Amino acid sequence: MNKFYPALFSCLLLASASWAQHDNNPGSNHGNRFEQLGTMLNTPNGYRSASGAPGPHYWQQKADYEINATLNDDKQRLDGSETITYTNNSPDALTYLWLQLDENQHKKDAEGTTTSESKMQGKMSLRQLQGVMGHNLDLGNHIESVKDANGGTLTYTINETMMRIELPATLAPGAKFKFKVNWWYNISDRMTIGGRGGYEYFPEDNNYLYTMTQWYPRMAVYSDFQGWQNKQFMGSGEFALNFGDFKVNINVPADHVVGGTGQCSNYAQTLTAAQFKRWNAAQSATSPVEVVNLDEVKNTMKGHATARKTWAFHAENVRDFAWVSSRRIVWDAMSTQIEGGRKVMAMSYYGPEAYPLYRKYSSKVVAHTIRTYSKHTIPYPYPVAISVEAANGMEYPMICFNYGRAEKDGTYSEATKNGMIGVIIHEVGHNFFPMIVNSDERQWTWMDEGLNTFVQYLTEQEWDPKFPSSRGPAYKIVDYMKMPKNQLEPIMTNSENIIMFGPNAYAKPATALNVLRETVMGRELFDYAFKTYAKRWAFKHPTPEDLFRTMEDASAVDLDWFWRGWFFGTEPVDVSLDSVKYYRLNTKNPAVEGSVDRAQFDRNLENISTTRNKAAGTRFAVEADTSLQDFYSKWDRFAATPMTTKSYQDMYSALTPDEKKLYDSKSYFYELTFSNKGGLVSPIIIEWTYADGTTEIDNIPAYIWRKNEFKVSKVFAKTKEVKSIKLDPYRQTADIDEANNSWPREYAPSRFELFKQQSLPRGATSGTNPMQEARKGGQ
Ligand SMILES: [Zn+2]
């Protein structure tokens, strides 16, 4: 879809230039890196203001759902009947509606599968082989009927993952349309077919874990900036969804426990008396209370109830609804206070294999996450926040699915523990981006993943200063930024077209925001502006320009160069300290300057000829015959004379007090020349180490490059002599080559290993399980 940047798109065809080089001031001599973005952004209008705030005529559609779902645990099938009330708040009259049938992603001939490249490899996992072979299963949505409120049949057309429903009459601005869809589908095996939802089978106890996501036909988004968002669901580009209210009744085997988006209104019926009592106790508990405990689960897992129960959920102002159901889940809950004093229930659902990790950490990490995000964005507005262990990582409003299972003996590696904490923070954090600040994930992965990964980093670092965050610190993006140009895409790339999804859409925008906060804007200006963005766009649909504009609007920092370089370009930061020139003031005081002049004069007398002549024992004529010496043979041409001394004193006494102060400051002047070898313009951070061992930092904003984007010089006056200079000492600019950052040049030794070592999993400081070793050793 090219509705976003028509002006840019046509220029791109004409000039075939890279985004970074895109000229909107082609006559400029110095380059384009500091020109305003201008036509590269959508034109502001009544819906979206030039300030980055929603405009006076901002509108968005609403979709309310009432759904009855029945889970068949024998056949792994889900049947549903849903009534959608769609409110047309747009100024446009609509003649049809688009719904999303995401489950069609799993069909054997799905577009996402047929258009994915595949290759045979020497070593392939079962899942990779499955991907190459495809499957012959009956997967995907079966639409039984589509009817209006009066039971009249509605015509519909299915195109892959999208379904168009013909409206019986034009839907006027402000009007509502109510209709009903009946459907069913076979739930897919998430562990072999892949995808975000489905079932996981546990052969050891013959039980299933159902994580139900994108499970009902969902309204597509109709917006002011692109009409219907009906770009097909191919697997990478996630979802564009409307806000609405949900009433969902979920019918499952009576021995299942169900958790879902929103609040359950009939725990009194679905839980045992003891469990319901524990649920009530959890309301004021500050550490997790097991509402359904491990002993109960171990017991339930042995049987298969034939009776059924219905769990009734409701959720207000959410963009989606997801749920979990199984007879093999422990459920714990605790209460936490977030900014503004509201109480939120932090809860977790997990199987026995995750118990040693989830019981200890999960709900406390959930609570820490919503508290920390609330501080950096807006107070968490929902009543619950849930983490479910499902050996993956995927987010929905109020509920998300994470990983982290222990060994059979209850021990776990450090990598598993930190991976689990990281994924819970990340997925719970998604409540803010995109569940509340509701960007279009189908178009822009970075708008939720990048922003979320950034706040995830802040949250991890507030959890434990030693937490091994893999994304956020500037130096961690260097390996990606260093890659050959043909493997890089700008952050502003449609989700489906991104090469290297993780570094591009998660790590790079997260790093960019961290650089913006710590190095470009400073925490105070950044935090205010970032909060302003979250406040302005909570429960609305922002676009990239709404973020770009708000960050400037709220801070008075011109950031066009920053967005252009980091978000529209692929160039890396590589600032080189090319030369250092040292200047001292000539005091004209003969008593001071004489020795300096003398040293220089003497140095000129020592050249290769005189040195070798001396070494060869040459008998110099003026030394052999002393009668050749006279006044000038011993004259010190640099010695102070009464005349030169008086001339200096006259000059000095004529200075004003201010001039004298400057004159006496004995400043050392250093002229530094830098070159921009990477292309991405960056602040220059200079650490001076003085001859006396002390250090000082100077921070030069990136604006210094605005008139010459490739080479700049700057003079620094210091009161002390400088011994060495280092650029970016805290590695905060993502400079890809540190070798040219020091004066004199420093060469840090690199280590090499003779033996190939296995690479470690994410967050691991050791690939082993020391906890297990310690236990075996009887410690
Ligand atoms: Zn994510």
Cα of 492 from ligand 1 centre, angstroms:
17
55-58: long-range pairs with CB below 8 Å, 24+: 57/91, 58/224, 58/540
Burial 664-696 (b: 16+ CB within 10 A, else e): eeebbebebebbbbbbbbbbbbbbbebeeeeee
Helix (H, G, I), strand (E, B) or coil at 592: helix
- Residue from 25, 44, 42 nearest 34 by CA: 25
pLDDT at position 753: 67
pLDDT at position 8: 35
CB under 5 Å of ion ligand 1: residues: 449
**Averaged confidence pLDDT in the chain:** 92
- Residue from 461, 464, 454, 402 nearest 432 by CA: 454
Helix (H, G, I), strand (E, B) or coil at 721: coil
- C-alpha span between 709 and 678 (Å, rounded): 11
CB atoms within 10 A of CB 597: 13
Cα of 153 from ligand 1 centre, angstroms:
39
> What percentage of the chain exceeds 90 in pLDDT?
81
Cα of 394 from ligand 1 centre, angstroms:
7
Cα of 347 from ligand 1 centre, angstroms:
20
DSSP string covering 307-376: SEEEEEEEEEEES---EEEESS-EEEEEEEEETTTEEEEEEEEE-GGGHHHHHHHHHHHHHHHHHHHHHH
Cα of 456 from ligand 1 centre, angstroms:
10
pTM of the model as a whole: 0.90
CB 307 within 8 A of CB 348: no
Cα of 213 from ligand 1 centre, angstroms:
15
Cα of 449 from ligand 1 centre, angstroms:
5
Q: What is the pLDDT of residues 149-169, one digit of tens each?
A: 999 999 999 999 999 999 999
Burial 512-529 (b: 16+ CB within 10 A, else e): bbbbbbbbbbeeebbbeb
Token output for 94: 């609509």
Per-residue confidence band for 762, with pLDDT thresholds at 50, 70 and 90: low
Determine the number of helices (DSSP H) and then strands (DSSP E) in the chain.
23, 30
Per-residue confidence band for 500, with pLDDT thresholds at 50, 70 and 90: very high
Cα of 402 from ligand 1 centre, angstroms:
11
CB atoms within 10 A of CB 706: 17
Helix (H, G, I), strand (E, B) or coil at 587: coil
Q: Does position 12 have pLDDT exceeding 60, yes or no?
A: no
Token output for 697: 């930092």
Q: Does position 478 have pLDDT exceeding 60, yes or no?
A: yes
pLDDT at position 6: 34
Kindly report which listed range (8-12, 361-365, 393-397, 766-770) carries the lowest average pLDDT score. Answer: 8-12
Per-residue DSSP letter, 540:
B
